[in-house]
Structure 1
Amino acid sequence: MRTVKQLLEAKPADIFAIGPDAPVIEAIRLMAEKSIGATLVMEGARLVGILSERDYARKVVLQGRSSADTPVRAIMTADVITVTPNDTVERCMQIVTERRIRHLPVMEQGRVVGVVSIGDLVKAVIEDQQVELDQLQRYIAGAA
């Protein structure tokens, strides 16, 4: 099974983040411009939270808050679940399934080195299964 490090090596190295005091509308604009479903919330190099489209829908839209007047820190998820580059895709799939989350910041030596999404994980699982299927088919064809 592949590791998070291998996934990160195959993706652009971009890490998108916003400050906790920025208005929520800026975070939503960033996510829209970059076509991402969540953005990290950082104070300098320190990860302090994550803001997802789900946070926005539940904590701004449904509560009737103003996107322009609400700071990111008021709606972000502060208890961020992270992984390391050495974690496996299988372990990450277990985390996103159990915790019902879609994005995992990747931390190494106290700093953010990337983000993996549920889409990245599913793609890796499908690719790995296809390789295994191809190998089995070649084995069967050779054994016949």
Structure 2
Amino acid sequence: MAELVKDVMTPGVVAVRPDASLVEAAQLMRAQDIGDVLVADGQRIVGMLTDRDITVRAVAEGVDPLTASAGSVCTPDPVLVAPHDPVAAAAALMRAHAVRRLPVVEEGLPVGVVSLGDLAEAENPGSVLAEISRSAPDHQDTV
């Protein structure tokens, strides 16, 4: 069983500027096949933007995704973890802050993201959540 965040995290990060439009962020998520991007002002993480944030905080409220910025919709000042933090500490932070993803930062620089799915795979690889996290996304249109 993995004990450190670095053993379970998804390495690498994708980031957008705070002034990037939600359309830009969504297109980047689609191109990278991910559900979140960091919102960064230079080297400083100022927020985390998820596909759910775009849907619930913007589109569902009638906000124009062409003009709304990532910085205006993201979760500001996200809770951070370090690669050498215990997995249990990351899980506790997710629970305490009711979030599904945490940016992983080392020496002030983002190095990855740890998600609820990552933790599920590490703790219980046979769980439904772990299986869903491992599966390739379904890009077929459904009705």
CA contact (8 A) 1:60 1:67 kept: yes
Cα distance in 2, alignment partners of residues 107 and 19 from structure 1: 18
Cα distance in 2, alignment partners of residues 48 and 125 from structure 1: 30
Is 1:122 aligned with 2:143?
no
Identity of aligned residues (%): 35
Structure 1: unaligned runs, 5 residues or longer: 128-144
Normalized per residue, which structure has more helix? 1
CA contact (8 A) 1:89 1:124 kept: no
The match for 1:98 among 96, 102, 118 is 96
| Residue-pair matches, total | 124
Cα distance in 2, alignment partners of residues 71 and 42 from structure 1: 12
Task: Map 1:129-144; keep pairs closer than 5 Å.
Answer: none
CA contact (8 A) 2:45 2:77 kept: no
CA contact (8 A) 1:60 1:75 kept: yes
Tell me the TM-score normalized by structure 1. Answer: 0.79
Cα distance in 2, alignment partners of residues 34 and 96 from structure 1: 24
Structure 2: unaligned runs, 5 residues or longer: 126-143
Aligned to 1:140: none
Cα distance in 1, alignment partners of residues 100 and 33 from structure 2: 14
